[in-house]
């Protein structure tokens, strides 16, 4: 029997570009007794730095509609993208604390037969791994320890910030991804500008891709210089920028795409004995090295 | 008519609360935002300058290309010693810019993907095959799969008038800009 059930808010990039993230998360969660339910009719979150920059009064009701779908299922949400996390958690926070705003948003939702009630909770999948499943059970499930692997931890932005809303401690000293990497035996070397953004957010990628890739170039070079073997991250949008971005960078800057990019559940899934194919790692732009697959 | 600063506080206040937006008045131009900004190392975006231009009622800030180089990473927001909610102020300035017609073509295109499919990044045939390869249904059960669900998102966009701000023509499902220039 399932220990706990969640509504999985997929967003855009996970299901439509990197379905391996979706498959890996469902498979790893299932191993730990966590069941996933689909959110029928969910849309784009919509991206907090993009649609939040265009029109906050449209961003909010679309996000509230997504929250209302989970409320109708009577379930809490989990996400695999910092953009989705940022958008849905922020919308939920604003609407829970501002009655006038809630009324205004519900007037819009009323036209489509939905209502935001403030009954769900938005969770990030890596917090479920860390706090609900727990490090001990993850350690016990490891079949292929990552003892000789140096993991470049990349947090992205909207998982940690704004910290007053996210509630995962200081964004200057995060620990959740490091804890998860250590639980599967990996090392997490410090690298220059470890907490820097991937460069994609806020509409910068769509506005001026070469400029956004300069952020990415700096991060990748810093990871290589610190001797990292792969990236572990919690965000589908960062994933797109870091993985697809390395191919784009090859054309722009002549840098070989060689830093593999793994969503947290994909790396943990490998350590648990799932195959490259089961986790959708074979469809990434940057190929997985033998070191991770052995 | 009020100043740009009044307008920012009023507009953002409706969403974030007035108190949140009033923090803009606390800025002492120390520059910690700019010093912390990853964009500022790479681009001509200067957070401190954007905030000061807003405070000085210099409306030309709304048409500046640089205003769109913030990735909303929230580093300045976290580090501001005066508690200025910088990122939300920048997002509000961008909202006002969009209302006044300052929106790039590429950003309008991103908006149209949501109007057309409900997703800023929609799925295509090749990605459906990728999904099947990892044992998933070719299409996730989202707005792109269910037209009646997509219609709800479109109704929201029409209700708030965002479609008009972007200049979207529902009959041709194209931007007016595309129709005029034959893009």
Q: pLDDT tens-digit profile of B3-53?
A: 999 999 999 999 999 999 999 999 999 999 999 999 999 999 999 999 999
CA distance B50 to chain A (A): 15
Which tokens belong to A48?
Answer: 């907090």
| The pLDDT of residue A2 is above 80 | no
Q: What is the pLDDT of residues A41-53, one digit of tens each?
A: 999 999 999 999 9
Greater pLDDT, B64 or B180: B64
Per-residue model confidence as pLDDT tens digits over A240-266: 999 999 999 999 999 999 999 999 999
List Cβ neighbours of A222 (8 Å cut-off, separation of 6 or more). Answer: A191, A192, A193, A194
Cβ neighbours of residue B18 under 8 Å, at least 6 residues apart?
Answer: B9, B10
Tell me which H or E stretch contains B168: strand B168-169
Average pLDDT taken over every residue of chain B: 97
What's the pLDDT at A176?
98
Q: How far is A171 from chain B (nearest CA, A)?
A: 8
What are the structural domains of chain A?
4-123 (1.20.1050.140), 143-293 (3.40.50.11810)
Dump pLDDT digits (tens) for A47-72.
999 999 999 999 999 999 999 999 99
Question: Which run of H or of E encompasses B87?
Answer: helix B86-99
CB B117 within 8 A of CB A22: no
Taking only the tens place, the pLDDT of each residue in B149-170 is 999 999 999 999 999 999 999 9
Residue A99 has pLDDT above 90, yes or no: yes
Which of A19, A110, A252 to mutate to probe the B interface, most B CBs <10 Å? A19
* pLDDT value, residue A294: 83
pLDDT digits 0-9 by tens, A150-193: 999 999 999 999 999 999 999 999 999 999 999 999 999 999 99
Beta bridge partners of A9: A79
**Cβ separation B17–A203 shorter than 8 A:** no
pLDDT grade for A127, boundaries at 50, 70 and 90: very high
* pLDDT score, position A265: 98
Per-residue pLDDT, B1: 62
Confidence of residue B181 (pLDDT cuts 50, 70, 90): confident
Per-residue confidence (pLDDT) for residue B169, from 0 to 100: 97
Chain B contact set for A58 (CB, 8 A)? 156-157, 160, 162
Average of per-residue pLDDT across A118-147: 98
By CA distance, what is B136's nearest residue in A? A23
Closest Cα partner for B39 from A84, A212, A256? A212
Are residues A61 and B163 in contact, defined by beta-carbon separation less than 8 angstroms?
no
- In chain B, residues with a C-beta closer than 8 Å to the C-beta of A103 are none
Per the DSSP assignment, residues forming a β-bridge with A231 are A152, A261
Contacts of B94 in chain A (CB under 8 A): 53-54
pLDDT > 70 in chain B, percent: 98
In the predicted structure, residue A121 carries a pLDDT above the cut 70 = yes
At A3 the pLDDT is: 75
Considering only CB atoms, which chain A residues are within 8 Å of B7?
A: none
* Chain A residues closer than 8 Å to B98 by CB: 53-55
Task: Check CB contact under 8 Å for A49 and B12.
Answer: no
Q: Nearest C-alpha of chain B: how many angstroms from A259?
A: 21
Q: What percent of chain A has pLDDT over 70?
A: 99
Statement: residue A293 has pLDDT above 50 = yes
Is the Cβ–Cβ distance between A201 and A209 less than 8 Å?
no
Tokens encoding A270: 């490998």
Are A34 and A6 spatial neighbours (Cβ–Cβ below 8 Å)? yes
Contact B143, B150 (CB under 8 A): yes
Residue of A nearest to B108 (CA): A54
Q: Cα-atom radius of gyration of chain B, to the nearest Å?
A: 20
How far is B34 from A158, CA to CA, in rounded Å?
19
| Sign of the dihedral defined by the CA atoms of residues A79, A58, B112, A70, in that order | positive
Within 82-141 of B, beta carbons closer than 8 Å to A belong to: 87, 91-92, 94-95, 98, 103-104, 106-107, 109-111, 114, 118-123, 127, 130-131, 133-136, 140-141
Task: State whether residue A199 sits within 8 Å of chain B by CB.
Answer: yes
Q: In the A/B pair of chains, how many CB contacts fall below 8 A?
A: 220
Pairwise CB contact (< 8 Å): B133 & A10: no
Q: A1 pLDDT exceeds 60?
A: no
Sort out which chain B residues have CB atoms less than 8 A from A242's CB and list them: none
Contacts of A81 (CB under 8 A, 6+ apart): A11, A13, A14, A45, A235, A236, A237
The 3-state secondary structure of chain A, one letter per residue: CCCEEEEEECCCHHHHCCHHHHHHHHHHHHHCCEEEEECCCECCCCCCCCHHHHCHHHHHHHHHHHHHHHHHHCCCEEECCHHHHHHHHHHHHHHHHCHHHHHHHHHHHHCCCCCCCCCCCEEEHHHHHHHHHHHHHHHHHCCCCCCCCEEEECCCCCCCCCHHHHCCCCCCCCCHHHHHHHHCCCECCCCCCCCCCCCCCCCHHHHCHHHHHHHHHHHHHHHHHCCCCEEEECCHHHHHHHHHHHHHHHHHHCCCCCCCEEEHHHHHHHHCCCCCCCCCHHHCCCCCCHHHHC
A 157-176: CB under 8 A from B: 157-158, 161-163, 171-172
Find residues 72-131 of chain A whose CB sits inside 8 Å of chain B: 94, 97-98, 101, 108-109, 111-114
């Amino acid at each position: 029997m399932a220990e706990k059930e969640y509504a999985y808010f997929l967003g855009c990039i996970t299901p439509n570009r990197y379905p391996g993230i979706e498959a890996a998360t469902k498979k790893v969660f299932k191993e730990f007794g966590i069941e996933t339910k689909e959110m029928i009719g969910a849309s784009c979150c919509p991206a907090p730095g993009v649609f939040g920059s265009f029109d906050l009064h449209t961003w909010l009701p679309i996000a509230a509609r997504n929250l209302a779908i989970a409320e109708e299922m009577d379930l809490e949400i989990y996400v695999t993208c910092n953009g989705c996390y940022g958008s849905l958690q922020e919308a939920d926070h604003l609407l829970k604390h501002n009655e006038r705003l809630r009324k205004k948003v519900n007037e819009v939702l009323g036209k489509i037969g939905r209502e935001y009630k403030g009954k769900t909770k938005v969770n990030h999948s890596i917090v479920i791994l860390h706090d609900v499943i727990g490090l001990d059970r993850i350690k016990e499930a490891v079949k292929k320890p990552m003892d000789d692997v140096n993991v470049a931890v990349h947090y992205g932005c909207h998982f940690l910030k704004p910290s007053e809303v996210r509630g995962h401690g200081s964004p200057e000293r995060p620990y959740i991804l490091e804890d998860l990497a250590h639980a599967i035996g990996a090392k997490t070397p410090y690298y220059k500008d470890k907490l820097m953004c991937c460069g994609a957010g806020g509409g910068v990628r769509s506005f001026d891709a070469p400029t956004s890739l300069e952020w990415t170039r700096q991060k990748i070079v810093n990871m290589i210089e610190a001797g990292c073997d792969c990236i572990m991250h919690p965000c589908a949008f960062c994933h797109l920028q870091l993985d697809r971005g390395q191919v784009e960078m090859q054309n722009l800057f002549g840098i070989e795409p060689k830093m593999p990019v793994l969503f947290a559940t994909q790396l943990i899934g490998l350590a648990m004995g799932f195959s490259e194919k089961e986790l959708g790692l074979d469809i990434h732009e940057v190929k997985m090295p033998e070191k991770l697959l052995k | 008519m009020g100043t740009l600063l009044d307008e920012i506080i009023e507009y953002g206040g409706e969403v974030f609360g007035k108190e949140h937006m009033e923090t803009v008045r606390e800025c002492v131009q120390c520059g910690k935002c700019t010093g912390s900004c990853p964009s500022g190392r790479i681009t001509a975006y200067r957070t401190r300058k954007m905030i000061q231009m807003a405070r000085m009622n210099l409306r030309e800030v709304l048409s500046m290309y640089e205003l769109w180089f913030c990735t909303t990473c929230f580093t300045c927001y976290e580090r501001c010693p005066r508690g200025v909610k910088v990122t939300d102020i920048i997002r509000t300035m961008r909202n006002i810019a969009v209302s006044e017609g300052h929106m790039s073509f590429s950003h309008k295109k991103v908006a149209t993907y949501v109007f057309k499919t409900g997703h800023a990044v929609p799925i295509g045939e090749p990605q459906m095959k990728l999904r099947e390869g990892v044992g998933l249904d070719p299409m996730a059960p989202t707005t792109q799969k269910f037209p009646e669900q997509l219609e709800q998102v479109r109704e929201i966009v029409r209700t708030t008038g965002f479609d008009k701000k972007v200049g979207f023509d529902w009959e041709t499902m194209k931007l007016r800009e595309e129709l005029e220039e034959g893009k």
